[in-house]
Structure 1
Amino acid sequence: MALDGIVISNLIYDLNQFASGGRISKIAQPETDELLLTLKGHNGQKRLLISASASLPLMYLTDKNKPSPMTAPNFCMLLRKHIANGRITKIYQPGLERIVVFEIEHLDDLGDLRHKKLIAELMGKHSNIIFCDEQDKIIDSIKHISAQVSSVREVLPGRTYFIPNTAQKEDPLTCDETSFCQLILSKPMTLSKTLYTSYTGISPLIANEICYRCKLDGDQPAASCNEAEIRQLYISFCAVLSCVSSHTYAPCIIKRGKEPVEFSSVALKEYSDLASVSCDSISEVLETFYAEKNIFTRIRQKSSDLRRIVTTALERNRKKYALQQKQMQDTEKREKYRIYGEMLHTYGYGVEPEAKELVCENYYDNNKEIKVPLDPALSPAENAGRYFERYNKLKRTSEALTKLLVETKSDIEHLESIATALDLAVSESDLAQIKEELVEYGYIKRKSGQKKSGKKNRPYHYQTQDGYDIYVGKNNFQNDELTFKFAEGNDWWFHAKGMPGSHVIVKTKTGDLPDHVFEDAGRLAAYYSKGRDSDKVEIDYLQKKNVKKPNKSKPGFVVYYTNYSLTMEPDISALKLISES
Structure 2
Amino acid sequence: MDGITIAALSTELHHRLTDSLVDRVTMTDRHTLILHLYSQKEGRLVLTLGANPSRPVFGLTSSSPLPALTPPPSFTMFMRKHFRRARLKEVTSPLGERIINFLFDTVDDLGDERKLKLIFECMPRTANLIVVNEQNVILNALRHIDETVNRAREILPAHPYIAPPMQKRRSIRECLDMPYSELFAETNQKAPVSRVAYSTVVGFSPILGEEAAFRADLRSDHLFSALSESERLRLADALKSICHEIEANAFSPAIYTTQPEGTGANEQIVAHVISLTHLPYKIPFDRIADALTEHNAYVQEREALLRLQTSLSKRIGEHIKRTEKKRELHASDMAKGKTAELDKLKGELILAYIYSVPQGAQKVLLDNYYEPGTTILCELDPTRSPADNAARYFHRAKRNQRRLEAASKLLERDFEELAWLDSLAVAVRRAESYDDLLAIDHEYTVKTDRTTRRKRDTEQQLDDRSPGKPASKNRRCSKKYAESRHKSNRKKTKEAPPLPPRTFTSSDGFLIYVGRNNFQNESLLRKARKDDWWFHVKHVPGSHVIISTEGKDVPSTTLLEAAGIAVWYSGAGRFGGSAEVDYCRVRDVKKPSGALPGRVIYSQYKTIYTAPLDPTRLRRAVE
**TM bin (shorter chain):** 0.5 to 0.7
Superposition deviation, residue 312 in structure 1: 1.6
The 3 A distance-change label for structure 1 pair 508 and 240 is farther
Report whether the alignment pairs 1:186 with 2:189.
yes
Report whether the alignment pairs 1:385 with 2:357.
no
Counterpart of 1:85 (choices 84, 87, 101) is: 87
Report whether the alignment pairs 1:416 with 2:422.
yes
Superposition deviation, residue 294 in structure 1: 6.7
Q: SS at the partner of 1:426?
A: helix
Superposition deviation, residue 24 in structure 1: 3.0
Superposition deviation, residue 502 in structure 1: 0.5
The 3 A distance-change label for structure 1 pair 128 and 496 is same
Matches of 1:320 and 1:237 in 2, distance apart? 68
Superposition deviation, residue 462 in structure 1: 1.6
Superposition deviation, residue 503 in structure 1: 0.8
Q: SS at the partner of 1:12?
A: helix
Deviations 1:107-160 (A, max 9, x none): 9999999876543211234223344567x7345342554555423334464736
Superposition deviation, residue 23 in structure 1: 2.9
RMSD of Structure 2 on Structure 1 (CA): 5.9
Q: SS at the partner of 2:443?
A: helix
Superposition deviation, residue 84 in structure 1: 1.9
- In structure 1, the partner of 2:325 is 316
The 3 A distance-change label for structure 1 pair 384 and 25 is same
- In structure 2, the partner of 1:123 is 123
Q: Which amino acid in 1 is paired with 2:599? A: G
More displaced stretch, 172-181 vs 560-569: 172-181
| 1:261-272 equivalences in 2 (<5 Å) | 263-265=270-272
- In structure 1, the partner of 2:47 is 48
Q: Which amino acid in 2 is paired with 1:22? A: D
| 1:547-558 equivalences in 2 (<5 Å) | 548-549=589-590, 555-558=598-601
Superposition deviation, residue 496 in structure 1: 4.4
More displaced stretch, 36-45 vs 406-415: 406-415
Contact 1:279 1:285 (8 Å CA) reproduced: no
Matches of 1:58 and 1:412 in 2, distance apart? 41
The 3 A distance-change label for structure 1 pair 15 and 536 is farther
Deviations 1:450-476 (A, max 9, x none): 99x998945514243886432221223
- In structure 1, the partner of 2:442 is 432
Counterpart of 2:548 (choices 507, 511, 515) is: 507
Contact 1:172 1:199 (8 Å CA) reproduced: yes
Matches of 1:515 and 1:238 in 2, distance apart? 59
Contact 1:13 1:247 (8 Å CA) reproduced: no
| 1:414-563 equivalences in 2 (<5 Å) | 414-423=420-429, 424=431, 426=436, 428-438=438-448, 446-448=455-457, 457=498, 459-464=500-505, 468-483=510-525, 485-496=526-537, 499-509=540-550, 511-513=552-554, 517=558, 521=562, 524-530=565-571, 534=575, 538=579, 540=581, 542-545=583-586, 548-549=589-590, 555-558=598-601, 561-563=605-607
Deviations 1:465-502 (A, max 9, x none): 8864322212234324423x333344233334653210
Q: SS at the partner of 1:15?
A: helix
| 1:231-246 equivalences in 2 (<5 Å) | 245-246=249-250
Q: Which amino acid in 1 is paired with 2:436? A: V
Contact 1:523 1:572 (8 Å CA) reproduced: no
Q: Which amino acid in 1 is paired with 2:421? A: L
Q: SS at the partner of 2:535?
A: strand
Q: Which amino acid in 2 is paired with 1:85? A: R
- The size of the alignment, in residue pairs, is 509
Contact 1:117 1:132 (8 Å CA) reproduced: yes
- In structure 2, the partner of 1:11 is 9
Q: Which amino acid in 1 is paired with 2:622? A: I
Matches of 2:331 and 2:187 in 1, distance apart? 55
The 3 A distance-change label for structure 1 pair 544 and 142 is same
Matches of 2:196 and 2:372 in 1, distance apart? 81
Q: Which amino acid in 2 is paired with 1:473? A: G
Gaps of 5+ in 1: 328-376, 390-398
Q: Which amino acid in 1 is paired with 2:518? A: N
- In structure 2, the partner of 1:248 is 252
Counterpart of 2:25 (choices 8, 11, 28) is: 28
- In structure 1, the partner of 2:165 is 164
Deviations 1:148-192 (A, max 9, x none): 542333446473643413x6355578657756766776245x666
Matches of 1:517 and 1:469 in 2, distance apart? 9
Superposition deviation, residue 264 in structure 1: 2.5
Q: Which amino acid in 2 is paired with 1:556? A: R
Matches of 1:271 and 1:513 in 2, distance apart? 42
Q: Percent identity?
A: 23
The 3 A distance-change label for structure 1 pair 200 and 526 is farther
Contact 1:503 1:525 (8 Å CA) reproduced: yes
Q: SS at the partner of 1:494?
A: strand
Superposition deviation, residue 246 in structure 1: 1.8
Superposition deviation, residue 199 in structure 1: 5.8
Deviations 1:18-52 (A, max 9, x none): 22x43334363547763515141523231322233
| TM-score scaled by length of structure 1 | 0.64
Contact 1:430 1:457 (8 Å CA) reproduced: no
Matches of 2:186 and 2:541 in 1, distance apart? 51
Contact 2:513 2:545 (8 Å CA) reproduced: yes
Contact 1:299 1:427 (8 Å CA) reproduced: yes
- In structure 2, the partner of 1:367 is none
Q: SS at the partner of 1:488?
A: coil
Q: Which amino acid in 2 is paired with 1:127? A: A
- In structure 1, the partner of 2:151 is 151
Matches of 2:575 and 2:321 in 1, distance apart? 26
Matches of 1:248 and 1:168 in 2, distance apart? 28
Superposition deviation, residue 234 in structure 1: 7.1
The 3 A distance-change label for structure 1 pair 28 and 498 is same
